[in-house]
Structure 1
């Protein structure tokens, strides 16, 4: 259950004194904003039985999204990533991108998608101001891709990435969840692809959620093993950029593409945390694997930025130092489409 923290009335000018910071000294300039929990893929590590609707409440409206962006921008947020579920299932996604990009103080608008509608909509997204694109591709083998996701869309998604590059979206990342029985032996194929493809490929360790314990035990692969292979083969660590996520990135002079590793089970993973999350229902989540989330929607409906900022600052005081995944604690996270990872 959410912890109720009483509101303390403050003046508007107090809210602009500093960026968001927790009691552990971490500063938060990056917001992951879910605009829907609906997804049309059936990835075996997330929604193997497909999306199941459990809540009839409507997702955040465009007006509520605008209010969130304005409030977070006031508190030093400079990057907003649109997540789902699958964001492209919202018919107003282009308007959402345009609204976020027009928010004073927001420098970067990013989107994470499964790529299902990439070739159809990337032109509109680029024209609306999209800066960064993340696409999920868990295998470069069409048969394996279909086995993991439930869709025969690999070639179309790859074509969409090429189109995004032609349209001038310079920061393109491809996400692949490491799965022991499915794609863990595909590193040579991924490396061959990166030889002449200018993207950042990010291998993500499978994380345990509330409903995948058995699958996790059977398929978890440590990213450290991949890291060791990269270092042994001449890949070099890259400096972490401002507002970047937790990935450790590597480059190689013989490859056009880069590699990133997201290893939530590694030591001190949470020490570099710089992001907060808003669910599609308007709840603030301090951690992907935290508790149920804190209700902000009544404040969003009132469009009271002062109270929204105040509430977020006070709730942030309760952010814990770590996610406790090592202890098998997954919080309220049942599957990743709830918050977009």
Structure 2
């Protein structure tokens, strides 16, 4: 259920979080007229709602910077992904027909390199943007979308790095099998990362409050669960698909039949997630800029008074 609706927003305002918005210090029993014993922030500022307009401007700036990076890399990565798909479908086929294998490999590596760079930049942006809110972190669930996103991001990069190392320098006869298992784990981690990112996006939109934006992110997360399930099932079928051997045409047709659902689910999943992140990114970045400006002006006025 969304808490960003009017009633939810009113409830949040009636129940301010009991922690300092700058350092997370517990404020039970501390009067509104004094300052936080830990960091000196006026307690009255922390008694407000947990909507973004009442959050710490320093934390909001960090979230805004991270979201700007995340949004830009998501747009670049999506375009690079589709460019890579088109190159693999068209240029590669033409290159093999004409015998220009070097051109084909160079072009594919160029698009793949851009996609890889965008993934790295997006990961950095996600880490910056998912900094914990000091007022909410003391009571934040261990399985919150923000924490799951960070853990799945770390797991995805760990498994991916180990998989590459296993392919480059396989250890014994089980090296390749171990590498493929790591690839499965990295794909699953990236899938969890995508879904938790969408739910975390909905949580931020809920605190604007922007109910339509939150509903869109949650809707995409629900669709994403089915896409991830289809993708993992397709990967399982793809791993069991016959390769080579006798009857090359029939074997190739079976391999294509198994790989088609995976390719379709990947394209649909990336398109849905990218579309949501693109729209959410623009809206959240703009809202954060407005909120930071208003919060800084209001806080400076309160300090002067």
Report the TM range for the smaller structure's normalisation. Answer: under 0.3
Larger helix fraction of residues = 2
| TM-score normalised by structure 1 residue count | 0.25
Higher radius of gyration, 1 or 2: 2
Larger strand fraction of residues = 1
